[in-house]
Each structure stands twice: as structure tokens, then as C-alpha cells.
Structure 1
């Protein structure tokens, strides 16, 4: 599927391409619901005593593959562009998805397949924001970049409801878990096929001296060949010429010095902070978290599915109405503060009124569920969507590709860290898990206020030319 949207901006129609490369991300990660299905536990031969380790490895190993994939993506994208690598990464992901869907009865094989899928997934998260930042007009960059998170949440939303529906399959046959696992192939196939209908990045084509193709790409995505588009093409060619001089003789060790290091470190920290909010851990282990809040039972899958719907609604509202309204700093500082309140309040309620063993409905359970829904809504209008466009826009041309790779790798590194530790946190800390996330959110709020630099409404060239050592 390819969504082509015409947006009226600055007196002209701009055709903005919203690629389906965002779609696979959410669907393939939410294996937590599948791990609660009795049929999966039976076919792979593990019991309750092994659930914590299985949960951690099933999610964490995919993030390990994604972390490695980030470093493979940049050189491939530099040589072959943006389209062909995304097709390749989709194929790699699908190979892993097929191996996961086959009932091998071996957790080792399942784990290995998760790593393979992660390679394709992580590599895509480097190329997608790179592609987006190169093709989207300055005034729409924050909004279009935020679609990354919107499609993430749509995938999560879909997977939650599929898991919930699969839990009603009678007799608990193997197909009960194969349906949700196998359906992750669909958005990946849409990515691989859909990206073939796009034009290659105009900036990348200009860098390779393919100027006629670059003009064709830019005029197609803008939907016209007006004077403003001609001027934009001239600016791109001029910028590319400057970039060629800037990147000549580049060495990776430059990332460790001066202003370049500050930008790379900022990207590393902001993507790490996105994971440290606790929201991604909720996405992966939703059923397990709701068990802490309301006790066991099939309703935890329903609560998790509603959780996914809240994510989609909040992120959609942000992308459509709020993305260009507030500054980057306002969104991120306010979001972290509000999330801290929700998490700490949840910890207090769960500590005072733990979930009953019989799974009965209690007022404290209703309150904590409401707090978590509010938490995830706030995340999806702040730290969910905003880090992706911010990370993609802060680098000058000389270090853009390795810089974005470092930022995306940071996201997957801390994704891996929290994926492996969250099941053990829930098992051993219980209510303290929410307190940990709340303390992290407080720290994120303070550090963002002190150090984050504003980039809203600035061109990539303007951001590159300003020193990255003070707030503006």
C-alpha cells in the first residue's frame, strides 16, 4: 500500500510520499502476546519456570539483530541509494519471519530467526529517516518524520488485536500462534513492493551526478515543476556540491571531536531516552504489565489491545494536528514530565493496593489502567514520534549517514537492554518497575531542559551551520 497525500503549503501543492516502510516495525516486535498463548508454549516445550527467560530472549534477540543491522545499512545506502536497500532489507526480514512461522519446535531456531528479522528491521530504521529528511520540505519535516511512530503504533495496534482474537481459537492448535507470527510478513512485503513505486532520493541522485533523474524525482514528489521547485533543485545541487567538498576524506574518528561529537552524542542520548521512558517495554510486554495491574486472565489481552488503540489515536492526533504546532523542546520536556507523574502515581497505587489473586475488578485496578493509558497517550504525542525527525535533522552532510546510524543503533541498543531486563524487573520488583520508569522520566525531563537544542523551522543547512553547544 502506498499513501500519496497532497498538502497545501506555502501557496503551492506539495505531493508528500508516505512510505509503508514504517508499517512493519510495530507488528513484528510485539511478540509478547504470542508468548502468552498456550499453543506456543506447548509446541516449543517450555513451562512456567522458563517464561521469564523466553520472554526476554524472544524480544531481545531481535533487537540485537536490529542493532547490528544499523551499522550495515549506512555503507549500503551510500552505494546503492535508498530504494534498493529497503527492498533488500525487506527480503532479509521476510526470511526471518518465515523461519519464525514454521513450527520447528526449537526455541533455538526461533531465536535465530528473530535475529535475522532484526537485521532487516534495524537497517530499515536507518534508511527510512535518511530518505524522509532528504525528500520532505522543511516546513513539513517534523510532521512527516513523525509518521515513523504512527505506523509503528498502527503495527502494534494490529498485532494486539490479532493476538486477542487468536486466543479464542478452540483447541489451541499450532495455527493459533502461527497466524500472528506469520502476518508480520504482510507489511514487510508491502514495504518491499511499495518502495519500488517511489522515486530515488533527489539528493542522493545529485550526489552521484545523475542530475536529470534528480530533477525528475523532485518534480514528481512536489507534484509540479514550478519556479519554487526549480529553485529548490538548484539549492540541492549547490548543497550537494558543498557536501562533496565537506565529506572528502572523511574518517570515522572525526565523530569523536568537537561539534560533531556533540551532535552524535545528542542523537545517541535522545534515542536512548526514548527507550528509557518505559513505553517500548510496555509495547513489548503489555500482557505481562497488565497482569501486574489487574491480575491474570484473558482480559489482559483485551486491555493490551485497547492500549494499542490508545497509542494509535494519540499518535495520529499528534501527526495530523500537533507536529508543527509546538517546538521540539516544548514537546519533549512537557512529555517527559507528564509521563513521570503517570508512572510514579501507578507505582504508588499498585504498592498500596496490589492486584487481587482472583483477578476481580477493583477500583485501584481501574485507576492504574487509566494511568497507563494516559501515559502511553502522552508518549505518543511526545517521545514516541519526535525523536525520529529530530535525530535525522541535526547532522551536517559530512556526518549525516554515520550520525543517523549511531542514533538508530542507540535506539536498538537500549531497546535490547530494556527488552532483556524488563521481564526480570517485573518478576522481582513488581510495583517498583513503574517507579523505575518514573525516575527515568524525571531525569529525561531535567536533562532535556538543560541540554536539548531547538531545530524547529530551521533548514538542514541552517541547523548544520549553527554550533551545537547551546539552546536556541
Structure 2
């Protein structure tokens, strides 16, 4: 077996998967800049007065499509596998992107393209971490798992610089907005075509009973056969059998057990907190945000540097911070820092209102921009990469898929809501938008202190103990028949309660 070949193939497969994360991030960043272009507004025939509504709808409607895409992809990937599901997601995204890039003159048609692309994006955000985790070797799974957030930050960064380039070098015309939107067809095509030439997940194949093919695929992705590969394959089989045994008899009512109910509450509120930090809103509407703090004619350049800050911060977290400090420390410290930076931005914008000038950005404007950069760095050193890690580790095997699905759906729902609110807030209340996010971040510090549990250094099997409230313990044996638990608790027959899919 060639260790180097195996490492190369694992990195190649995971990187190819994470193009899906890059894709979502690129769209996240590109749309905010495109919507500020006069050429786009003229081609689609809406007035400046309607711009705020168009901005809000164009961003949030993709989130709505992605929300439903998360649910639609589960039965598809269960039946057809990870690889072909990613190919299908890419194809759907390409259809939606094509509708957006064609100058139809109809904003409704543009919205339809956004919704269709959203289905593909939502599916990819479910499939990418799943496929990456299943294909990566245990020795480098942590580093490869971080690629999701790295590619996301990279996609946002590239989108900002593409916006900067077309503003600087392309005349105000249809081509000016078609170039940045059309470029997203490239990563979409790379992911779809690339997946055709890689192997299916061995773990999915084992789950489908195709063990011989699973072993061949595992040998391929590890760079050859060896005793280590055979041991890993045996562990995959044992883990799959244990998972089936653990999930047998799972009912929706088991989610209402005190410890599980608490974890689901945490999963939902963590995703809500991610949006309430205000950083996602800044990512979507960065050009508008920088204009509001006085960036003036330097907005596109400053937005591009904003993307670089995010990449550097998340890289620092993934390689040097994660695992070295506790989860609660990172959550609380990140929220406190973001709240402070947002408060400073609000004060600067209130006391030194932005003034249009051809002489460049003012000193208070420079200070406000630096505070926005610091806020983005604080987010990417805490809540940005940590929220998904926390979500993935708090649930036991029995309800992990259900719990993560609920958390992912909550993320898209709250993302949709905040993308609807933010452009109106920036337009109507100005600096108070930053004050609002400052207050919310300080509230998140209190939430993290009292609600979140420290999970660093604890095994997945210890999570029930970590999250237990009121002293009620649930052992694995207790959970093997949740219906009997409910019967004992309520003293009623429950044999006809429906099984979870």
C-alpha cells in the first residue's frame, strides 16, 4: 500500500467534495455585489426604490430552496449513494445558475433560477460533510473535516475579488453582472464532473449490502491493500452493524426524552445564535455594509480584503485553535468580541456619519472598516467553524442523523429570516443595525454560559452525561426500547406508535 497515494486520493476526494462548499460561499458573496450594479438594475427593469426589496428577495429565496433541498436529498442519497447525489446536486445547481446568467429581463425568472440553484446548494451542504467524513482516513479526518469551512471562506473571498474586478475593468453593461454570476458554473461543473470519476463511499456500500465493492473502493481510496485497510474494513462492518442495532426501534417520541429534548433545543438555538451574531448578514450584504460605514468609492476593494481576513481567521482556527481551548470558551469569547466590535461600529457611524467624498475614505470610516474586519475574524475564530462541529458531536448514534437534520434545517430557516431583515435594517435604521447586533451578541454570551455544555475532551458516549439535567441518566440499555420507557412513564400502551424513517 502506498501511504502517499492514499493520502493524495483522500485529499483529492475531500477537496472535490468541498467544491460544493466553495460553490455555496461564492454565491453568498457574489450576489451582494451584483445587486449593487446599475447595469443589473437596468436590465431587469426595477427602480432604485425597489432595490431593497429585490436585494432581500434575491438572497433569501436561495435560502428557501436550500432549506427544502436538505430534506429532499436524504432519501435520494440513501438510495443512490453519495457520489451520484452530488452529481445530481451539481446538475440542479447548473440549471439554476444558467437561468440566472441569461438576460431574460424578468426578475421573476431570475428568482426561479435562484430557487432551483438553492435546491442544489442545500443538498450539497448535507452531502459534502457526509462524503468527506466517510472517505477521509482517521489520521487526518480532523484536518480534512476543516476543509468545509476553509473552502467556504475561500469561496466568499474569491467572490468579493471577482466583484471588484468587474467593477474596475468591465464597463457598466449586461456583461458586467453576467461574468460574476456565470463564473459559478465553473465550480459547479468541476464538482459534478469530478464526482463521476471517483469511487462511491465504502460505508454507504456496506450499508447497502455491497461489501465486495465496498472493499475495492476502500482499497482504492487508501492507495492499495494492506492489513490496516482490512482492519478498517472490518471496523466499518462492525460499526454499521452496531448502528443498525442502535437505531432499531427508534421512535419520534424518544426525541422528547429530557436529555435528547435539551440537545435538540441546543442544536436549534446554536444555529439561531450563528445568525444573530450578524456575521452571515455581513457576508451577504458586505458592499452595502461597507457603504454604510463610509467606504465610498473604495467599497469593492475593501470588500475584497474582507474576504482575505475571513480566510486567514478560519485557517488559524482550524490549524492552531480548535482542540486547544474549550468549546464554551470559544463560544463566549467570540460572541463577546463580536458584540464589542459591533458596538464600536455603531458608535463610529452614529458620531461620524459617512459622507460621500472623492478624496477617499475618512479616518472614522477607516476605523469602522477595521472594526468590521475584526468582527469577521472573531466570528471565524469561534462561531463560524465551531457551530457545525458542536452540532455533530452532541447527539448519540441513535438520534444523530435526526438531530443533525433538525439543526441543518434550523440553520437555513434562520438564514432565510436574517437575509430578509438585514437589507431593510441597513436602509431604514442605519447605524442602529450594528447596535442591534451588538446587543444580540452580548445576549449570546449569557446564553452560551447558561445553556451550552463543555464537550471538549469528552467522548461521544459521554454526551448524555454531559447534557443530563436533573440527574436522570439514560444508559444504552435503557434506550434500546424507548417505547417501554414511555409506557412505564405514562402507564399506557403505545405499540402502534409510528417508527421513524
TM-score by length of 2: 0.85
- Of 41-50 and 139-148, more deviation after overlay is shown by 139-148
Instruction: Quote the residue 1:17 is aligned against.
Output: 14
**What is the aligned partner in structure 1 of residue 338 from structure 2?**
339
- For the residues of structure 2 that align with 1:377 and 1:339, how far apart are their CA atoms? 9
Which residue does 1:26 correspond to in 2? 25
Q: Distance in 2 between matches of 1:67 and 1:88?
A: 17
CA distance in 2, matches of 1:280, 1:5: 38
Give 1:451's aligned residue.
Answer: 451
CA deviation after TM superposition for structure 1 residue 161, in Å: 1.0
Secondary structure, counterpart of 2:325 in structure 1: coil
- Asked if 1:112 is matched to 2:105, the reply is no
CA distance in 2 between partners of 1:71 and 1:403 (Å):
13
Q: CA deviation at 1:268?
A: 1.9
What is the CA deviation profile of residues 179-235 of structure 1, one whole-angstrom value per residue up to 9, with x for unaligned ones? 001111111111112233443333322222222333344444444655554444333
Which segment drifts farther, 175-184 or 353-362? 353-362
Using a 3 Å threshold, how does the CA distance of structure 1 residues 328 and 147 change in structure 2: closer, same or farther? farther
Question: Residue 156 of structure 1: CA displacement?
Answer: 1.0
Residue equivalent to 1:311: 310
Residue 130 of structure 1 contacts residue 392 of structure 1 at CA under 8 Å; is this kept in 2?
A: no
Asked if 2 retains the 8 angstrom alpha-carbon contact of 1:250 and 1:398, the reply is: yes
1:385-432 residue CA offsets vs partner (Å, 9 max, x unmatched) = 122233233333333333222211111111111110001111121111
Contact 1:70 1:122 in 2 (8 A): yes
- Summarize the alignment of residues 142-221 of structure 1 with structure 2, pairs less than 5 Å apart: 142-169=142-169, 171-221=171-221
Single out whichever of 32-41 and 322-331 deviates more from structure 2: 322-331
CA 1:312/1:438 → structure 2, altered by over 3 Å: closer, same or farther?
same
Corresponding residue of 2:401: 401
Please tell me whether residue 372 in structure 1 is matched to residue 369 in structure 2: no
Gaps in structure 1 of 5+ consecutive residues? none
Larger CA deviation: 357-366 vs 252-261:
252-261
User: What per-residue deviation string (whole Å, max 9, x for no partner) do you get for residues 423-460 of structure 1?
Assistant: 11111211111111112211222222223234445555
- Cα deviation for residue 337 of structure 1 reads 1.7
Cα distance in structure 1, aligned partners of 2:183 and 2:88 = 19
CA contact (8 A) 1:87 1:195 kept: yes
Residues 207-246 of structure 1 mapped to structure 2, 5 A cutoff: 207-223=207-223, 225-246=225-246
1:127-169 CA-to-partner distances (Å, cap 9, x unmatched) read 2222334444566554433321211111111111111111134
Q: SS of the residue aligned with 1:294? A: coil
How many residue pairs get matched? 462
- Gap regions ≥5 residues in structure 2: 471-501
Q: Secondary structure at the match of 2:14?
A: strand
Between 71-80 and 224-233, report the one with greater CA deviation: 224-233
**Is contact 1:342-1:372 (8 Å) kept?**
yes
Find the structure with the greater CA-based Rg: 2
The structure-2 alpha-carbon separation of the partners of 1:138 and 1:467, relative to structure 1 and needing over 3 Å to count, comes to: farther
Contact 1:351 1:431 in 2 (8 A): yes
Aligned-partner Cα distance in 2 for 1:467–1:224: 40
CA gap of 1:230–1:134, structure 2 versus 1, over 3 A, is same
Paired residues for 1:354-369 under 5 Å: 354-358=353-357, 360-369=360-369
Q: State the distance in 2 between where 1:41 and 1:368 align.
A: 29
How far, CA to CA, are the matches of 1:219 and 1:459 in structure 2?
A: 29
Question: After superposition, what is the alpha-carbon deviation per residue over 1:316-371, rounded to whole angstroms, capped at 9, x for unaligned?
Answer: 22223333433333322221221111111111221111112436532211111111
- Give the stretch that moved more between structures: 373-382 or 396-405: 396-405
Residues 392 and 111 of structure 1: is their aligned pair in 2 closer, same or farther, counting only changes over 3 Å? same
Q: Does residue 300 of the first structure (1) align with residue 299 of the second (2)?
A: yes
Preserved contact between residue 259 and residue 464 of structure 2 (Cα < 8 Å): no
Contact 1:7 1:16 in 2 (8 A): no
CA distance in 2, matches of 1:134, 1:58: 34
Farther-moved stretch of structure 1 (129-138 vs 445-454): 129-138
Equivalent residue for 1:330?
329
Please tell me whether the aligned partners of residues 52 and 424 of structure 1 are also in contact (alpha carbons under 8 angstroms).
yes
**1:417 aligned residue:** 417
SS of 2:131's partner is: helix
CA distance in 1, matches of 2:397, 2:310: 34
User: In the alignment, what sits opposite 2:55?
Assistant: 55
Q: Indicate the SS of the match to 1:385.
A: helix
Shift, 1:57, TM fit: 0.5
Displacement of 1:267 after TM fit? 2.0
Does residue 132 of the first structure (1) align with residue 129 of the second (2)?
no
Q: CA RMSD in A?
A: 2.7
State the distance in 2 between where 1:181 and 1:433 align: 28
Q: TM-score, normalised by structure 1?
A: 0.90
Change (3 A) 1:316 1:209: same
Distance 2:255 2:407 in 1: 12
Match of 1:45 in 2: 45
C-alpha displacement at 1:239, in angstroms? 2.1
